[in-house]
Amino acid sequence: MAKANMSPNRNPMPSQEAEVRAHNFDEVALGYSEETAIDEAMRCLNCKNMPCVEGCPVKIRIPEFIGKIKEGDFEGAYQVISKSSSLPAVCGRVCPQETQCESKCVRGIKGESVGIGRLERFVADWHNTFSTEAPVKPESNGHRVAVVGSGPSGLTCAGDLAKKGYKVTVFEALHTAGGVLVYGIPEFRLPKKIVAKEVEGLKALDVDIQTNVVIGKTLTVDELFEMGYEAVFIGSGAGLPNFMGIPGESYKGVYSANEFLTRSNLMKAYLENPNTPIMKGGRVAVVGGGNVAMDAARTALRLGAEKVYVVYRRSMEELPARKEEVEHAIEEGIDFRLLNNPVEILGYNNPDDARDPKNGFVTGMKCIRMELGEPDEKGRRRPVPVEGSEFLLEVDTVIISIGTSPNPLIKDTTEGLEVNRRGGIIVNEDALTSRTGVYAGGDAVTGAATVISAMGAGKTAAAAIDNYLSNK
Amino acid sequence: MYKIIKKRVLNSAVIELHIEAPLVAKKAKPGQFIILRVDADGERIPLTVAGTDASNGTVKIIYQIVGGTTKKLSVKEEGDYIEDFVGPLGVATHLEGLKKVCVVGGGVGCAIAMPIVEALHKMGVETTSIVGFRNKDIVILEEEFKANSDRLIVMTDDGSYGRHGNVTVPLKEMLEAGEKFDMIITIGPLIMMKFVVATAKPFEIPVTVSMNPVMIDGTGMCGGCRLTLNRNGEKITKFACVYGPDFNGYEIDFDEAMSRGRMYADFERHAYEESCNLFKKEAK
């Protein structure tokens, strides 16, 4: 075998030029070639104690799949990953690897860690392009399981159970399967054909996906049991968007990030002549510093905004978004207004003409400067307003991306399902809720978190459901 | 795909459809709504359920042609299919314990008022219906209202049918004459509901209003349907899709709701004209 690649730097990811991609919705990162992938794989030292695996929420056997890449056995690499992850093409693109597997990589001590996420993506894309291996339908074990929601946790749970021979039905409230992968994460970060491919893969395993069914409304959890499902997994997602509670949030031009992204992604408002409207162009302020805020800011830019601000009340150090997304956003010209906090949204009001069509539209956002004070209970330094430092940001659109609160629809219609003070479903270490046979995971349990942690929860639940039904 | 079982044209701009959706038909109650898409890549639009028939699994909807989507829907015929149909969403109208009710409907809102009147009638509640339309040509469901109401008053803006004037005129007369209702339920244009609330206020009669804001998913995820409620001097935000569409009329900020309702007015007009042009081209 060739000698290890001891370069301190990882192979850069080929990407669209910032000034080009800022005006299109095509994927930003283009992916490694076979040669680059092998070269990058050679940087892996194949550590015996595999610290990287510890950093992975679904425990992918990372050195093993990288070993296969070194040998040029890309399909073999894919098979290693797919034992642990149902959605490698997705995770290779959206996982915050820098805080997970890559943060534990030994190569990261004296240089850059191995580009594990980039290699995962390469392997998954290679498989999706070249593999002709049809998935093997396992023999049915006769048990039926219902999965609520077709986001990352639901798809993972469904996939794992289907591979074990369970007959799984996934119920999705929207008209397309994929959950946040479809309505939330934009095309330029996760092309929808990749999600569709993963969903097709599940269908090939005989998973039945029923769209347009809202559990808690169309059917209840109890009715699912009456229909013959023996276990239910709830992966219904994050729920209701939070607003700031400041004056002016109802002016026209104020969106939740969920609404803005759903209009653009799921409803395809980014296309020419869309059927669903969205405010395009002008000056845009996105409030918040998470991945969703980055997605909203970069979507607004691509929809033709002349200026996009990200307004975040802490500093760059605390900004929670995935590092690569922040770097991409900065390259594309997004203006980060750090240590700033909105206090009021201002709107147009023509006192002489109540019918002026401009009435009620956003004209600006009043912000206040912040400084970091004492650490809070999570150890993050608390932002404190600087008195008298208010200033005006002239904008036409405000997109609020400060998190979500759990959706009450399932809790309100499922007797005996316990939730915590915030409304998140309470589960034990096996993802079991307070109801026998009812499991839950993902944002419905934790509140807004990552795709991979939701997948991890879906995996845990699938194992627990298998255990429960095989011993029943 | 969801099949159109029956179609009835109620007036030049208002159409009734019976759509096969057995799960929704089994569950839907008066006051709840559905969301549909006419075709792939189509817009999601919310429409209030106008009735159900559990025997053949159909849900009745009545809609007015106002924009591109409703225009596209209007050319679908019996036996055709629409892409998506999901529900029932929202909370059903609370009717328990009511003895005497006045239902005030305006325009196509009368279609939504109808199942409520029907339910009240079945419960043996003394029901007065006041329904208002712009003119004689667009009066809908008069027979149905007559059959289910103890008293029916039809109003037209131009006096071409029934009594001349707004729905608030007879309402005010009744209230001033000392008539008491346990509840006034009103469904129609925001401006009409605003004035129904204003009319009822001096008489301290509870008013339930049915809101129909812009929404996408209908399950609480987007927040586009948010309304501002003034509750005990405090402003609170509620999502109409999850907590509504019915609200206490005295709490609603109607001016804000009206302003938000016009957010995409230009887009709607444009989409409507586009679809008309498209149909004209096809016709040629």
* DSSP codes, chain B: -EEEEEEEEEETTEEEEEEE-HHHHHH--TT-EEEEESSTTPPPEEEEEEEEETTTTEEEEEEE--SHHHHHHHT--TT-EESEEEEEESPPP--TT-SEEEEEEETTHHHHHHHHHHHHHHTT-EEEEEEEESSGGG---HHHHHHH-SEEEEEETTSSSSEES-THHHHHHHHHTT---SEEEEES-HHHHHHHHHHHGGGT--EEEE-----SSSSSSS-TTEEEEEETTEEEEEEHHHH-SEEETTTB-HHHHHHHHTTTHHHHHHHHHHHHHHHHHHH-
pLDDT number for residue A69: 97
Check whether B279 has a pLDDT greater than 70. Answer: no
Q: pLDDT tens for residues B99-120?
A: 999 999 999 999 889 999 999 9
* Residue A273 to residue B267, Cβ atoms within 8 A: no
In CATH terms, the fold of domain B2-89 is Elongation Factor Tu (Ef-tu); domain 3 (2.40.30)
| Whether A175 and B37 lie within 8 Å, measured CB to CB | yes
B32, B73, B219: best mutation site toward chain A, by most A Cβ within 10 Å? B219
- Mean pLDDT across the stretch B254-263? 90
CB contact under 8 A, A262 and B87: no
Q: Please state, in angstroms and as integers, the Cα–Cα distance from residue A20 to each residue in A13, A196, A271, following that order.
A: 16, 26, 17
What residues of A are in contact with residue B242 (Cβ under 8 Å)? 240, 407-409
Chain B residue nearest residue A259, CA to CA: B222
Q: Global pTM?
A: 0.91
- Print pLDDT tens along chain A (472 aa): 557 898 999 999 999 999 999 999 999 999 999 999 999 999 999 999 999 999 998 899 999 999 999 999 999 999 999 888 888 899 899 888 888 999 999 999 999 999 999 999 999 999 999 987 777 788 999 999 999 999 999 999 999 999 999 999 999 999 999 999 999 999 999 999 999 998 998 999 999 999 999 999 999 999 999 999 999 999 999 889 999 999 999 999 999 999 999 999 999 888 888 888 888 889 999 999 999 999 999 999 999 999 999 999 999 999 999 888 999 999 999 999 999 999 999 999 999 998 888 999 999 999 999 999 888 887 888 899 999 999 999 999 999 999 998 888 999 999 999 999 888 999 999 999 999 999 999 999 998 888 888 998 999 999 999 999 998 8
Is the pLDDT score of B249 beyond 80?
yes
The B-side interface with A (CB below 8 A) comprises: 23-24, 27, 37, 41-44, 68-69, 83-89, 216-217, 219-224, 226, 228, 237, 239, 242, 253, 256, 259-260, 262-268, 271, 274
- Report CA-CA distances (Å) from A30 to A17, A21, A97, A122, A130: 11, 11, 17, 10, 17
Q: Which residues of A touch B263 (CB under 8 A)?
A: 252-253
- Return the pLDDT at A275: 85
CB contact under 8 A, A174 and B217: yes
Residue of B nearest to A220 (CA): B27
pLDDT of residue B283: 60
Structural contact between residues A250 and A406, judged by C-beta atoms closer than 8 angstroms: no
Smallest Cβ–Cβ distance between B217 and the set A211, A262, A277 belongs to A262
Residues of chain A neighbouring B81 (CB-CB closer than 8 A): none
The distance of B220 to chain A (nearest Cα, Å) reads 5
pLDDT at residue A402, as a whole number: 95
For the cut 80, the answer to whether the pLDDT of residue B268 exceeds it is no
Top pLDDT among B184 and B269 is at B184
Out of B83, B87, B260, the one facing A217 most closely (by C-beta) is B87
**Chain A residues near residue B260 by CB distance under 8 angstroms:** 250, 252, 360
CATH code of domain B100-262: 3.40.50.80
Which residues in chain B have Cβ-Cβ distances shorter than 8 Å to A262? 216-217, 221-222
Write out the residue limits of the CATH 3.40.50.80 domain(s) in chain B: 100-262
For B257, nearest residue in chain A (alpha carbons): A250
Section B225-232 average pLDDT? 93
Which residues on neighbouring strands pair with residue A310, listed in sequence order? A286, A336
B89 → closest Cβ in A214, A252, A255: A214
What's the pLDDT at B280?
67
ipTM, 2 dp:
0.90
Q: In which residue ranges of chain B is CATH 2.40.30.10 found? A: 2-89
> What residue has token string 């869309």?
A274
- Given a cut of 60, is residue B284 above it in pLDDT? no
Of B186, B207, B211, B176, nearest to B131 by C-alpha is B186
- What does R_g of chain B's alpha carbons equal in angstroms? 19
pLDDT value at position B157? 94
Q: Which pLDDT score is estimated for A96?
A: 84
A:207-226 residues touching chain B, CB 8 A cutoff:
211-214, 217-219
* The pLDDT of residue A36: 96
Residues in chain A within 8 Å Cβ distance of B27: 217-218
A91 to A33, A105, A181: CA distances (angstroms) = 18, 18, 11
Q: Which of B42, B86, B256 sits opposite A212 (nearest CB)?
A: B86
Q: Which of A192, A214, A227, A279 to mutate to probe the B interface, most B CBs <10 Å?
A: A214
